[in-house]
Chains A and B, each alone.
Chain A
């Protein structure tokens, strides 16, 4: 399969910072892959996201080394606007993502479509679709400044979604969402992923990471310290030292093994965990 993201020996140091936020990072992402980036606070996850969409080097000042290529184009040469045709970022802080230049939620959603030559009808169609997906149909006429935290995050997500990028970068994009709302949105993301959209997601919720990821990338002090399938990564005995918890599914599998009730396998998803527990009960 085609490689859509190529990061080669990439380093970045913010202006005036003493140490680089990312150091000699290399990895690739295939088209249609679901990659989760995990790691402690300050590990460099957001910096990496910003580098993927070209905000680094175009908006943040500092020194870079190495290269980031999106669909073959070096982000240093392409403009952020051009890149946004392929790759979209949902910001960690939704309050920073909204432009607040618009009077209503509907305008905020459509903002990014404005300079893309999208017809009025198409704009209306997409605003309607996205607001239904995000459950914000009732908020379309509201002022973005008068929303709850989770409502702002839904609008922020929608404003990236509406551009229909082929690569979605999600930086802790559901931290303020109600639990069912978050899982609905991940179902949508998973469906998009199944239809070929590449997903790169940062999250501290390890059950979610184990559930969805094809590949987990563990970052520590600006470097990649571990890469693998969820099973490979969460089997590692020293995983906690990278500032991440083990998913409860894995804890349960290990707990059952210790009592001689398990089968030595680690459950990674809700469904696998239910099946494992059922087997114990029915034994």
Chain B
């Protein structure tokens, strides 16, 4: 699958220009993190990808076909969007109904739906909560319920909006496993996040947005080495990367063992 945005702009009815001249393309089973300051337009961009919002300028194509020609529900089989605020997404009486709603709408048979519910409940850790009202879930369970409802549709791409928000350690691990499962299934993963540890641990490409435009687009190494550019969009590298930069290490490191190794190298270079 290929998603192409060509000179996309978006203005809200208030006249506020949230996106301007966006040129991006996402392909195949890429994993992409979208980061950047509050109000940069990340959520607005994500909502274009599955047709909740339509560009007010430029074009958005999926596999070469323009979005204007399709309905939102048709679109949702291709690209699923998990809302930043689950209260905006969930509206049914039980988790089970939330999970079954989309598939039923596109005519999936009940047997398949049941099988998918079991699988998705396990992935999201909601096995024991299927008959609970979403309003009675904890904040992070709600988020996983929103994720589950999207994954149930088996879309080619899943777009997560701030998925780690409020998650504890176990929640972070569960999310990591879920994203790895989507990768195994060959799906495109796109996430909007302010959690830089999560970004570098799960994504191969990083798009930085600033004031409705794309500021930088590259690998995590390329992006997080440009500290001054990042500052423009109120982003800082993950903690351990900052420490490595603080001691003047040339390479960009993202995880502790990698940094320990570099320090060991530097130490033995000094002593030889």
Interface, chain A (partner B; CB < 8 A): 39-42, 92-93, 95, 143, 146-151, 153-154, 172, 175-183, 204, 207, 240, 243-245, 247-249, 251-252, 255-256, 259, 261, 270, 273-274, 277-278, 280-283
* Nearest 8 CB-CB pairings of A with B: A150-B38, A178-B234, A180-B234, A255-B260, A274-B246, A179-B236, A178-B37, A175-B165
- Give the residue of B231, B246, B256 whose beta carbon is less than 8 angstroms from that of A255: B256
A176 and B243 contacting across the interface, CB-CB below 8 Å: no
Identify the closest chain A residue to B171 (Cβ). A41
Those of B237-272 within 8 Å (CB) of chain A: 238-240, 242-244, 246-247, 256-257, 259-260, 263-264, 266-267, 270-271
Interface, chain B (partner A; CB < 8 A): 12, 14, 16, 36-39, 43, 84-85, 87, 138-141, 162, 165-172, 194, 196-197, 231, 233-236, 238-240, 242-244, 246-247, 256-257, 259-260, 263-264, 266-267, 270-271
A146 and B14 contacting across the interface, CB-CB below 8 Å: yes
Identify the closest chain A residue to B244 (Cβ). A277
B246 and A204 contacting across the interface, CB-CB below 8 Å: no
Q: Given the complex, which residues of A lie within 8 Å of B84, measured CB to CB?
A: 149, 176
Q: Give CA–CA (A196, B143) in the complex, Å.
A: 37
- Given A252-B259, A252-B260, A278-B247: A204 and B138 interface contact (C-beta under 8 Å): no
Q: Give CA–CA (A255, B263) in the complex, Å.
A: 11
Identify the closest chain A residue to B41 (Cβ). A148
Q: Give CA–CA (A247, B169) in the complex, Å.
A: 11
A42 and B138 contacting across the interface, CB-CB below 8 Å: yes
Q: Given the complex, which residues of B lie within 8 Å of A40, measured CB to CB?
A: 168-170
Q: Give CA–CA (A273, B260) in the complex, Å.
A: 12
- Given A240-B169, A259-B260, A277-B263: A180 and B270 interface contact (C-beta under 8 Å): no
A183 and B239 contacting across the interface, CB-CB below 8 Å: no
Q: Given the complex, which residues of A lie within 8 Å of B138, measured CB to CB?
A: 41-42
Q: Give A227 Cβ to nearest chain B Cβ, in Å.
A: 19
Selected A-B contacts with CB under 8 Å, 12 pairs: A150-B39, A179-B235, A180-B37, A204-B168, A248-B239, A249-B239, A252-B260, A277-B244, A277-B247, A277-B259, A280-B267, A281-B267
